[in-house]
Amino acid sequence: MDPNKVLWSVIGTNVGVYLLWQYAINSYKQFGDAHWLNIMRKHFISSPEAMHNGRYHTLLTSAFSHKSLDHLGLNMLVLYSIGQGVIEAIGASRFLILYAGAGITASLVAVGYRKYIRPLLEKEKYGSVMAITSFFACAYPRATFLVFFIVPMPAIAVVGLFAAYDIYQASTLEGGIVDSAAHIGGVAYGAGYWFLRVRPMLRAGRWRV
């Protein structure tokens, strides 16, 4: 598979789902028609309720779901910036497996967090691009990222800082436009794929980065 076509197909799918969200939201706001909004909520959001009703496909479809333009733009910028490097490291087909697997894992972590962990934290008063990013950081730890497009930092440090921030957000119930629990799941999946799958094969001389 052509790496460019694979990368742009993933980005295009994310953009397409975002446009569907916008159409659904605008149809509801302008005409009071909630039909498409209900469809998007039913099939593109992972939740304990979705799992209870057998909508397991939402574990994957939610990985392509962004309702805000800034969140979509940031994720697609990161994906475009490092996606080529990851595809070159593991190949286009494994890239798709990594992306899909990470999305499902991140969704499972987010659902588990909302169903089991968050209620405990509240009682006590106290999600695929992240996987690609953490995998890239493990494969190329000294690659330079520009934080806020200004401050140069090694990739492994940037991912570590973002992971620490997401853990803080999830543990303190701080609000935000992104699902911190899903991010944590994505980071863990990407790092796990590197250390458990790719790195052993590199040591055995069966893979190259």
Give residue limits of the domains in the chain: 3-204
Structure-block tokens of residue 186: 């994505």
User: Chain-wide mean pLDDT for the chain?
Assistant: 82
Most confident option among 88-102, 151-165, 195-209: 88-102
pTM of the model: 0.68
User: Which pLDDT band holds residue 123 (cuts at 50, 70, 90)?
Assistant: very low
CATH top-level class of 3-204: mainly alpha
* Angle (CA) 127 132 136, round 5°: 145
Closest CA to 180 of 126, 120, 114, 127: 127
Query: Which tens digits make up the pLDDT trace of 168-203?
Result: 776 765 555 446 767 777 788 888 887 887 788 777
